[in-house]
């Protein structure tokens, strides 16, 4: 066998070995993890700084809104990437603008609850945030979630 043929044989073995190891390790039985229930409280990890708090709050808010709307967090999260996608999502799911607004507020209140339960938001701050959640214009709340999740 020529030297070039040896390199081709070695390259073929190197290309096939990872697939064989994957199958041997049970890779054919892999199933993606099921989506979590958006109605379950989200346990926040220990956060450091305002950006991390806002990011966790945005994720909890999406969960809370998804729970209120009876949809998955992932589907709602994708819809929140733009107003057009959110409008189409609402239309596809038979959800009115009013229901979206109510769900967004419920989601924000849920985020405050999750943050307080995780010990990352103190009671006084939680109280103030709950009042703010009822007063802030809904389009600003949705934009805040977009900014924190999608940058």
| pLDDT tens digits, one per residue of 102-122 | 998 999 999 999 999 999 889
pLDDT number for residue 139: 82
Q: Which residues contact 62 (CB under 8 A, 6 or more apart)?
A: 38, 73, 76, 77, 80, 107, 145, 149
In a domain, 41, yes or no: no
In a domain, 137, yes or no: yes
pLDDT number for residue 1: 66
Q: Are 146 and 81 in contact (CB under 8 A)?
A: yes
Looking from the CA of 20 toward its CB, the CA atoms found within 13 Å total: 6
Q: Which two tokens stand for residue 40?
A: 């379950």
pLDDT number for residue 21: 76
Token pair 């030297």 in the structure block, residue: 3
| Same domain assignment for residues 142 and 76 | yes
Closest CA to 59 of 43, 83, 71, 48: 43
Q: Are 100 and 45 in contact (CB under 8 A)?
A: no
Task: Map 47-90 to HEC letters.
Answer: CCCHHHHHHHHHHHHHHHHHHHHCCCHHHHHHHCCCHHHHHHHH
| Same domain assignment for residues 62 and 136 | yes
pLDDT number for residue 43: 87
pLDDT number for residue 36: 82
pLDDT number for residue 111: 92
| Same domain assignment for residues 59 and 124 | yes
pLDDT number for residue 14: 77
pLDDT number for residue 68: 94
pLDDT number for residue 32: 66
| Same domain assignment for residues 11 and 61 | no
| Same domain assignment for residues 97 and 140 | yes
Range of the domain at 123: 50-150
Number of domains in the chain: 2
Q: Can you list the residues of the chain whose pLDDT is less than 50?
A: none
């Amino acid at each position: 066998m020529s030297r070039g043929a040896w390199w081709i044989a070695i390259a073929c073995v190197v290309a096939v070995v990872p697939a064989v190891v994957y199958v041997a390790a049970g890779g054919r039985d892999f199933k993606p993890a099921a989506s979590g229930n958006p109605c379950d409280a989200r346990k926040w990890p220990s956060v450091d700084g305002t950006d991390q708090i806002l990011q966790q709050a945005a994720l909890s808010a999406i969960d809370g809104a998804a729970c209120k709307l009876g949809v998955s967090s992932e589907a709602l999260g994708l819809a929140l990437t733009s107003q057009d996608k959110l409008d189409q999502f609402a239309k596809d799911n038979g959800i009115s603008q009013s229901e979206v607004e109510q769900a967004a507020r419920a989601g924000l209140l849920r985020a405050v609850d999750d943050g307080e339960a995780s010990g990352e938001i103190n009671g006084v701050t939680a109280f103030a945030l709950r009042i703010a959640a009822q007063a802030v214009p809904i389009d600003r709340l949705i934009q805040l979630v977009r900014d924190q999740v999608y940058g």
